[in-house]
Structure 1
Amino acid sequence: MQATDFKIVVIGGSAGSFSVVSAILASIHPQFKIPIVLCLHRLKHVRSGLVEGLSLKSVIKVLEPNDKEKLQYNHVYLAPANYHLFLELDGTIALSTEESFNHSRPSIDYTLSSAAYVYREKALGILLTGANKDGAYGMKDIAGKKGFTIVQDPATCDIDTMPRSALQLFDPNLILSPKEIVQFLNTLPH
């Protein structure tokens, strides 16, 4: 697998992940080519604030996508509050209000699993700190399709339930601290 082969980066996180995602977006190369999709657990009825907060730190444009929006390089797409986000075969985003999964909407598992299905070995999945098991099976799906998987080192997590759940299911390609995740992403094309 060549780093230049990645077509999508999907990052999932929950409790404690805002600071990690902020650090990643503040330190990533400004010309980062691969679309980044963020699926973070959020409050259902708070529709604003997260994009603005991430945008203040990010060197790349951060937005909440509309249904059927086409992915573009050098953009960060944040799953909207109370919507599942799926990646589609035609390179667009699909939003859904289906029932919660793993007590979550958006569900990290749904987003990661759709990335595995669409991008297969060209998907890069990253699972960060969090307080439940959402994301573990989605990461396993990416690994099963020969995609590349990174799990945040549980020792660096505010709450390590999410990464530990993934580590019980499969062996990721890398287990990294937030700083090492940034270093890895900056080895990718820009």
Structure 2
Amino acid sequence: MYSDSSRPAPAESFGIVAIASSAGGITALSKVLGGLPADLPVPVLVVQHLDPRHETILAEVLGRRAKLPVRLAESGEQTEPGVVYIAPPNYHLLVGPEGVLSLSSSELVHFVRPSADLLFESVAGAYGPRAIACVLTGSGSDGSMGVSAVKSRGGTVLVQDPEEAEFKGMPQAAVRTGAVDFVLPLDEIADVIRSLVEVRKS
């Protein structure tokens, strides 16, 4: 479904996809990442709220379901097209203008670290209209300020349909901003991401 704010994509190619999820997110991320092609021409950054007290095997779990390589992000790392970077537990994930990642242990945002808002805001600042932000299932409102930032810089925002999300909080909060271009069933999100990056690069 297109929102009223949808507009034709400009000619400049997309440079990055940022995805955020919380409760119910591993299943949703598996579906989205599993639907993206191995030759995706942009990097993918992921914030999934995780228990900070434990090591995570999220990259390994998602990597078994994705055609793309999936790994935990490292500070100072240069992003590469077709690679998925996961925010490590208890670190905010940020990206700079040249696609260089940074990790921060600064204060919690909306009681969480990593924060979707901080990731999306950094993506908006670094990539402007070349950014795609996507909010999946999760409780709370993390990501809503960030999607507004992405939209204000000319980027494109996708949200899982709250009515079918396992946890509606994050998708509903994002939709309420009025900054959303697409509200989609989970099964359609990967196809829309793929079509956006492929249409704009051609």
Unaligned runs of 5+ in 1: none
Q: Specify the alignment match of 1:184 in structure 2.
A: 192
- 1:136 alignment partner AA: S
Q: 1:3 to 1:173 in 2, by over 3 A?
A: farther
Give matches, 1:1-190, under 5 Å.
1-2=9-10, 5-187=13-195, 188-189=197-198
Return the offset for 1:72.
Answer: 0.3
Provide, for residues 46-71 of structure 1, a one-character-per-residue CA deviation record: whole Å limited to 9, x for no partner. 22211111111111000112111000
Q: 1:3 to 1:47 in 2, by over 3 A?
A: farther
Return the offset for 1:99.
Answer: 1.0
Return the offset for 1:3.
Answer: 7.6
Structure 1 runs (4+) greater than 2 angstroms displaced: none
Greater mean alpha carbon deviation, residues 168-177 or residues 140-149: 168-177
Identity of aligned residues (%): 28
Q: Any conservation in 1 of the 2:160–2:183 contact (CA below 8 Å)?
A: yes
Q: Specify the alignment match of 2:4 in structure 1.
A: none
Paired residue secondary structure (2:187): helix
In 2, the alpha carbon distance for the partners of 1:107 and 1:92 equals 18
Paired residue secondary structure (2:64): helix
Provide, for residues 111-145 of structure 1, a one-character-per-residue CA deviation record: whole Å limited to 9, x for no partner. 00000011000000000111011100001100111
In 1, the alpha carbon distance for the partners of 2:11 and 2:56 equals 34
Paired residue secondary structure (2:98): coil
Q: Give TM-score, length-normalised by structure 2.
A: 0.90
Aligned length: 190
Q: Give TM-score, length-normalised by structure 1.
A: 0.96
- 2:23 alignment partner AA: A
- 1:123 alignment partner AA: A
